[in-house]
């Protein structure tokens, strides 16, 4: 009887402790274990050649600063050369790297035919690519029915096909060396779809599926595939958001939810720390977000039916609030 009572208590208490730990955390519990007991401060990334796309702002920019502080050799890619030069200058001021350790490589992720030649340029300079961080992308926010088909196509073309294309250019080099690491900055939107982000969620779900499959294919080649799923992060991603058209929106869009409004976004520096630690410990998948998004991600993963039921009611309420917000903006 004593054992039965003890088991009964454990059945009740352990889940409560786990939920409490999740609610107090800003990353999944597997990551938190490695953060405390694994490789610390990215120390094994010193001297590694790390190629970052979308390095001109946001998470990519922050990663460049943190990795230059470790002593990694960097390839910084984005479309805006002037912004990449700015990031490089800051890296040299903050980091412990020399100018020759940072390569500026302008890149359009949708110019698929340029990816092989871009990879060759990196090899000509550094001889190898140890880590490819697929960070570049663009968000989308509008009702699915309001968005033009061009928005859907661009969201998938840039976020999915562009990422896959560049990865396929780099992977043969890693396979030949029997060493490499592919990192994909996905999103909790790839685990937990939200209303008003149908195209963006579709793109992130596609990335999850593709790179989960790739992980098993390249395992015997000593290549690690890591997917990072951040929630809302302090960045300029919303400046470049698509709504019903391909035009850039600026900070605010008529589809913003005033009730959600982004006060609980994760600091970019903390997100960068989590990504660096995930790379250093060669983790498979990491969720990083402030709550309640992290807790919702757990529910989506382990109780999908409950999540879908909740999403319908939550989504309906959120849409009502946004529609009211839109109407108020139009009448002003």
pLDDT digits (tens, 9 = 90+) for 2-56: 565 666 555 555 566 766 678 788 999 999 999 999 999 899 999 999 999 999 9
Q: How far apart are the first and last CA of the chain?
A: 69
Q: State the Cα–Cα distance between residues 190 and 286, nearest whole angstrom.
A: 12
Mean pLDDT of 119-129: 98
Domain that holds residue 37: 2-331
Contact 278, 267 (CB under 8 A): no
The model carries a pTM of 0.90
- pLDDT score of 214 more than 70: yes
Catalytic residue flag (residue 200):
yes
pLDDT of residue 20: 63
pLDDT digits (tens, 9 = 90+) for 245-304: 877 655 555 565 544 445 678 999 999 999 999 999 999 999 999 998 899 999 999 998
pLDDT of residue 4: 59
Contact 196, 140 (CB under 8 A): no
Place 244 in a pLDDT band, splitting at 50, 70 and 90: confident
Contact 268, 7 (CB under 8 A): no
Q: State the Cα–Cα distance between residues 219 and 213, nearest whole angstrom.
A: 10
Contact 266, 197 (CB under 8 A): no
Query: How many CB atoms are closer than 10 A to CB 201?
Result: 21
Mean pLDDT of 106-120: 97
pLDDT of residue 6: 61
For 87-91, 213-217, 250-254, 292-296, which range has the lowest pLDDT when averaged over its residues? Answer: 250-254
Structural domains of the chain, count: 1
| Catalytic residue, candidates 200, 255, 302, 314 | 200
Contacts of 94 (CB under 8 A, 6+ apart): 65, 68, 69
- List the CATH number of the domain containing 124: 3.40.50.720
């Amino acid at each position: 009887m004593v054992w039965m009572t003890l088991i009964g208590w454990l059945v009740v208490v352990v889940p409560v402790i786990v939920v409490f730990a999740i609610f107090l955390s800003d990353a999944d519990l597997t990551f938190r274990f490695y953060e405390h007991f694994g490789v610390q401060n990215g120390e094994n990334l010193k001297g590694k050649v790390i190629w970052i796309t979308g390095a001109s702002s946001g998470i990519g920019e922050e990663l460049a600063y943190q990795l230059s502080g470790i002593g990694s050799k960097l390839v910084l890619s984005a479309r805006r050369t002037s912004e990449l030069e700015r990031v490089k200058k800051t890296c040299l001021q903050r980091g412990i790297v020399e100018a020759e350790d940072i390569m500026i490589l302008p890149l359009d992720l949708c110019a698929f035919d340029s990816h092989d030649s871009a990879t060759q340029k990196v090899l000509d300079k550094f001889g190898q690519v140890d880590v490819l961080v697929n960070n570049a992308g663009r968000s989308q926010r509008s009702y699915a029915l309001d968005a033009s088909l061009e928005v859907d196509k661009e969201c998938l073309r840039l976020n999915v096909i562009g990422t896959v294309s560049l990865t396929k250019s780099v992977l043969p080099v890693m396979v030949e060396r029997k060493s490499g690491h592919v990192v994909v900055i996905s999103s909790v939107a790839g685990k937990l779809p939200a209303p008003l982000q149908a195209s963006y969620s579709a793109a992130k779900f596609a990335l999850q599926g593709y790179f989960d499959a790739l992980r098993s294919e390249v395992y015997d080649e000593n290549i690690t595939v890591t997917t990072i799923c951040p929630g809302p992060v302090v960045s300029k991603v919303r400046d470049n958001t698509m709504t019903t058209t391909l035009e850039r929106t600026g900070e605010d869009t008529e589809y913003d939810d005033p009730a959600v409004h982004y006060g609980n976004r994760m600091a970019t520096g903390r997100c960068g720390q989590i990504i660096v630690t995930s790379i250093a410990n060669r983790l498979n998948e990491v969720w990083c977000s402030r709550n309640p998004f992290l807790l919702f991600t757990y529910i989506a993963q382990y109780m999908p039916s409950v999540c879908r039921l909740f999403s319908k009611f939550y989504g309906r309420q959120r849409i009502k609030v946004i529609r009211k917000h839109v109407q108020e903006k139009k009448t002003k």
